[in-house]
Amino acid sequence: MTELIFNQPLELKIPRLVDSPYSSEPVVDWSTPDWKVVPFSVSVQQLDSTEGNEVHPQVVTKMVLITPPGTDIPDLDSDSVVRVGGVMELKVVGNPARWPDPWKPGVVHHLEAVVEVVGG
């Protein structure tokens, strides 16, 4: 029954490490990222949206990303960018909440993260 709500494929945006003419250490390059596929589907639901004014006609749409019970995305953090369904790119806002399993101490029951897309 969980497939009714957890039906969106998810990928994590992973920057590449490239050589830099200014450093002996590799540097992070976001211009040609890799996309790491999450091995299960998630639920993404809209929370709210805000609109800017005529001078700054920007629309910010916030959503909540929820993993199915018994799953976590260990690489997901406050700096992460995800892609939902292969098309919708969203930035994680704040730290994801890893909800503890009430019957298994020390185990994550599921993850919830606020994500947003900014347009305009």
pLDDT at 118: 87
- The DSSP bridge pattern shows strands 59-66 and 81-84 to be unpaired
Amino acid present at 7 = N
Phi, psi of 55 (to 5 degrees): -75, -40
pLDDT at 57: 82
1 band by pLDDT with thresholds 50, 70 and 90: low
Report, as an integer, the average pLDDT of 35-54.
Answer: 93
Of 75, 76, 104, the closest CA to residue 90 belongs to 76
**102: exposed, middle or buried (Cβ count in 10 Å: 0-12, 13-18, 19+):** exposed
Mapping DSSP to helix (H, G, I), strand (E, B) and coil, where does residue 30 land? strand
